[in-house]
Structure formats: structure tokens, C-alpha cells
Structure 1
């Protein structure tokens, strides 16, 4: 959509011609200035998502979302910062970005993975969707874990742009990071969830695969990336994981 413009029409017959011309010129100048200001503050369309890891502004995301980028940026609200890949794992499809962003809050990784014997409610969503999500302070979960499978898989409606999104438990702890959508049938191929991906869509019943917290911790320790881990809840039972996810989430822009 083209940027909105603002203008005023002043119809005052008593004004002389020069005054009308001056008013028209001022209105035109104001309209142009407003249009430029709106264009400058327009939010960029992000390709993928990430999550703040520490106070230094390091961001955890999916490796495929930041591979082959000529330019790479991290986006948080009106802030856009250049990003650099400082750690990556092709096997886990994880990467860490170094940014100059200053997080209000960084993730706390769970000391144990999500329970595998039964399904639990979790929250996972793309950065771009979180920015427009209404009433997120009242939303407790939007996905369910799949019991009896290896790793962390979700029944979730997330769409491209969700690669690198945090998976938060009801207690606000980071349980995993989204990397791809996979068929529900075992051993079938999957589809990555970054907007830049050219992977063919997965047909039939699908699930979302995330890298679980235990593998996240191992990856971060291997690459000497600072992070916080805990078994203590970060939220009360009445607080929203969706609101916390919005605070932790970062947009990733690959150019």
C-alpha cells in the first residue's frame, strides 16, 4: 500500500489570492513532510524470526533463514540493526546473530525438555504476526506438543516467517526454536518456515518441528554464547506467554 498522506483544504473567501497561494504551499509542504515521515517509519517485512538470548543483543534463529544473505538485519519495533552470524549448526539448523539491539528482556532456557509422554499447551508465533496480534496479553497458548515423538514437534498453524520463533511453555521458559513444517508421517521430508524459502509445500497432515531446549543449550555452550537457564517459572499462571513471546521476539531480514 502506498504511504498515507495528510492534507487540509481551507476555503475562506475573504482571503486574498496571495494568502490562498501561501496556505496551499504550506499545506503541500506539510503533506510531503508527513508522507516522508510515514515512509521512514514503515516497518520492513521480515523473512523469519528470532529470540533474544542475552543482554548483549545476540539473537537465536534458524540457520536456513540467514544462509546466503547479501545483507542481514535484525528488526525490533522501529529499530533496525545490521546483524552478523557468529555461530551456526547445519545439523541442528540453528544460528546466532550478533546485533547492536538492546533487549528489554532475553529468553530463559528450560532446564528440561517438554514432557514427551503427554501433550501440553505452548505458544509459538512469527515476529511479524506478533506485532499485529490482538489481545495477546490474554492468550495463553496457540499450539500443542506432540507426545511420543523424537525431539519437539507441535500441532501449530504457524506460517512462513515463523522459522526461528521461540516455543514458550506456560511458565514462560524457552522450550525450543521453530525450524520447519514436517509431514505427520515419520521419515518424510519437511518444509522450512522462512519467507525466502523456495521449498515445496508439504501436503497432507503436518506438524511443526522445533529444536528442543536440551539441544539449544548444548549448541550455545559449544559456541560460548551467553544465555540463561532455569527451572523456575518466568510467568505466573495468569500471565501470558504470548505477551512474553512478543517481548523476546526479533524479526530477521535477509536481503
Structure 2
């Protein structure tokens, strides 16, 4: 068979295959119950139903621009005081769509999640305020979050009521750094180099990053405390949580 005829025959077969496959894909998409459910949630969300906005956000993985879609619906649900949606929106801004995080939004939304009664939001916001993660150190706000976390966890296996001890330890180290900075700033320029700005935030190397992933199931054990050994050999506690990337992260041993 001449080469031109073979090429023409192949082109016709490919074209016919595409024509057959296209209606089948459209039909299968239309038959997918999740598509219809997503449309129902979107319509209810437009009508002001916070839970529908949250559920539509959970289905965003089926559509283009998945992270932007999720954040849009989670933030709408959060604005209507849906606590879990606030936590999800916060986790979304921790990394941000297109790898463009907004740390201020991350912290503010996490605080709102706590205020609305989300335990994970309280645990994580308390640590942010204690160590100045994604914003200033605020011991008063940290105590509020720790106390709320304790109240929400009473009677559970994840009970965490050691906020005062964690804050006291962090405050001592923070005040020591501030004192050192003031002393350095008071030295004559000729006797000491210009003091560097003291960084009151906790650095990334204080996290113990874990490579293990966790299932997508949402439950009440996305954060908590675990026993650990401090550098001086005494026993302490380490805070842990699962981030938006579904990876476990751990704080310092305190």
C-alpha cells in the first residue's frame, strides 16, 4: 500500500476515534453524581448556605484551578462562621495558590477557626502567638488560645492543658533575647559592631519535619502533643499537627 494512502487511512481512523470518544467523555462527566452534587452545593452556597460552600470547596479537586476554587469556597463558608472551613482556608493560605502564600491571612484565619471552636485551630494559633510565627509574639493571645484548646479537649485522649508552662518557657527565652538586644544597642559604636535585628520568630530548623503522609480523612487527631526528651535530659512535650500538604510537622521539645 502506498505511503500516502496509509497516512490518509491512519488520519481517518484517528479522527473517527476522537469523534466517538468525545461524546462518551461528555456523557460520563454528565453521569458523574459528584458533578451534579457540586452544582447543587454551588447554588446553595450562592444562597448563603455556609455548609454548602464548605462542601463545594471539598469537591474542588474535580475542577481546574483546584486550590483557587477551594480557597474561594472555604473563605465564603468561613465568612459565615463555619469553623472547619476557616481552618481549611488557613491551611490553603499557608502555601497559597500557585505557591503564593499569605502568612498574615494564614494566622488570622487560624485564630478565627479557634474563636469558632475548632480545636486544631486553637492548638496551632497558640503556638503561632507564643513564638511569633507568621506575626508578632503575643503571650496574652497565646494564653487565650491555649485555654480554649484545653477547654475543647477536656476528657479526650488528646487533652492539652500545658499552655501556661509552654508560655512561661517561651517568655523567659524571649525576654532574655530582648535584654541581650538592648545591651548590644547601648554599647558605643566604637566598641561593638552595629547590632543585628533580633529575630523573635522561630526558625524552620526548630521543626521536626516528617516525610510521612496521612490519609485525606478529616478527624479530630490532626494536632496534639507528644512526650519528648529535652536537650538537658529532662522530659518535655512537643506540639505536632498535619498541615495543608497533609504532612506531619512538629515543634520544639519544651
TM beyond 0.5: no
Q: State the TM-score, normalizing by the size of structure 2.
A: 0.27
What TM-score does the superposition give when structure 1 sets the normalisation length? 0.27
Q: Whose relative contact order is higher, 1 or 2, with alpha carbons under 8 Å and at least 6 apart?
A: 1
Q: Which has the higher strand share?
A: 1
Larger Rg: 2
